[in-house]
Amino acid sequence: MSSVIAATRFSVLDRSRTREGHTDAEALRDTVTLARELEDLGYHRVWVSEHHGVPGVAGSAPTVLAAAVAGATSRIRVGTGGVMLPNHQPLVVAEQFGVLESLFPGRIDMGLGRSVGFTDGVRRALGRDKGDAEDFAAQIQELLGWFAGTSPTGVHARPAEGLTVPPFVLAMGEGADIAARAGLPMVIGDLRSREKMRRGIDHYRAHFRPSPWASEPYVVISGSVAVATTPEEARRLLVPEAWSMAYSRTHGTFPPLPPAERVEALPMTGKERGFYEGGLTGHIAGTEDQVAHELETVLKETGAQEVLVTTSTYDRAALLESYRGLARIAQG
């Protein structure tokens, strides 16, 4: 077994993707079930996400879903990848994570992102606009202040004040610089843009300032990883998500995941085909030996301490088998 892989933590972000013919409720229950399975497989943490008004994603309230996941498990760390901080008041976010940490002490992570809504309509419904993302760094400091009890308002965040909930910054755009200046662990993706990812990691490490939350840089790389008995089967795991992304870029809406065989039989326009084929490239996919080799290469290139797997597909049984294969790689 590779010593690089052996020293790496492996975790999963499940976005509660809806599947054709299935309900949002089923997608949410599948996330909870998957978390129990990932715990049994020895994964380090499982995170859930925040999306609003997206037909293909049921996960809209990450702290609520994290509570369900934490309640259904006993050891695995549980968190968010992430709460989109510009959508919320930092006090409310602190209170929510304070409740989670109080109920499930020592198991909660606070992944924070800076996206503001998927469309203009969603942003209006949230009472936000794109400019709110510009205050992300200040919002993080305000949020952390509620845990430290340093808010100048005289208000105290109950039960957050005095608790330690590890914060992570999702490094989209200038997120690497924000994470470095705040002295926080960073989650960066995706694996399809290796050079861009390496530049972000190098900037983060070069400008990192130690903080009470982290004394040294901590890098989590994220992206899709698919493991199967053949390279062709691994590639098919990526097909539903690749088509959903292609459809969203050509039709303006993000649909539920279709079965791979239906996608492969679809007539596509040239534009759709281009986005679809592009969506299938750059991921880590193949047999266990192939994936182990590719992971070792990426980990040596980046020096990352953790891999956060974000794979989505229609076939839930095949997805679980992929996670079993990755667990075998991670555990030697």
Least confident of 107-121, 228-242, 315-329: 107-121
Average pLDDT of span 248-264: 93
* pLDDT level of residue 332 (50, 70, 90 thresholds): confident
Q: Can you tell me the distance from the alpha carbon of 157 to that of 96, in angstroms, rounded to the nearest whole number?
A: 10
Q: Write down the pLDDT at residue 233.
A: 98
Q: Write down the pLDDT at residue 133.
A: 62
Indicate if the pLDDT at residue 132 is higher than 70. no
Q: Can you tell me the distance from the alpha carbon of 217 to that of 316, in angstroms, rounded to the nearest whole number?
A: 35
Q: Which residues of 38-63 are buried (b: 16+ CB within 10 A; e: fewer)?
A: bbebebbbbbbbbbbbbebbbbbebb
Q: Write down the pLDDT at residue 131.
A: 66
Indicate if the pLDDT at residue 226 is higher than 80. yes
Tell me, rounded to whole angstroms, the distance of Cα 46 from its chain centroid. Answer: 9
Average pLDDT of span 21-36: 97
* pLDDT level of residue 105 (50, 70, 90 thresholds): very high
Query: And the tokens for 24?
Result: 């949002």
pLDDT tens per residue, range 279-321: 999 999 999 999 999 999 999 999 999 999 999 999 999 999 9
- The helix/strand/coil state of 57 is strand
Indicate if the pLDDT at residue 129 is higher than 80. no
Query: And the tokens for 188?
Result: 């960066």
Q: Can you tell me the distance from the alpha carbon of 160 to that of 174, in angstroms, rounded to the nearest whole number?
A: 28
pLDDT tens per residue, range 175-205: 899 999 999 999 998 788 899 999 999 999 9
- The helix/strand/coil state of 129 is coil
pLDDT tens per residue, range 74-103: 999 999 999 999 999 999 999 999 999 999
Is residue 159 reached through a cis peptide bond, with omega within 30 degrees of 0 on the bond before it? yes
Mean pLDDT value across the chain: 94
* pLDDT level of residue 42 (50, 70, 90 thresholds): very high
Closest CA to 298 of 8, 74, 1: 8
Type of residue at 268: M
Query: And the tokens for 272?
Result: 């759709």
Indicate if the pLDDT at residue 130 is higher than 80. no
Q: Is 182 exposed, middle or buried (0-12, 13-18, 19+ CB in 10 A)?
A: buried
Q: Write down the pLDDT at residue 154.
A: 85
Average pLDDT of span 111-125: 80
pLDDT tens per residue, range 139-153: 999 999 999 999 888
Average pLDDT of span 27-35: 98
Average pLDDT of span 123-135: 73
- The helix/strand/coil state of 52 is coil
Residue 137: half-sphere exposure toward Cβ, Cα within 13 Å: 12
Closest CA to 322 of 1, 10, 71: 10
Residues 119, 69, 21, CA angle at the centre, nearest 5°?
55
Q: Can you tell me the distance from the alpha carbon of 117 to that of 36, in angstroms, rounded to the nearest whole number?
A: 30
Kindly list the strands in the beta sheet with 110-113, ordered across the sheet, starting from the edge strand earlier in the chain: 77-80, 45-48, 9-14, 306-309, 219-223, 186-188, 167-170, 110-113, 83-84
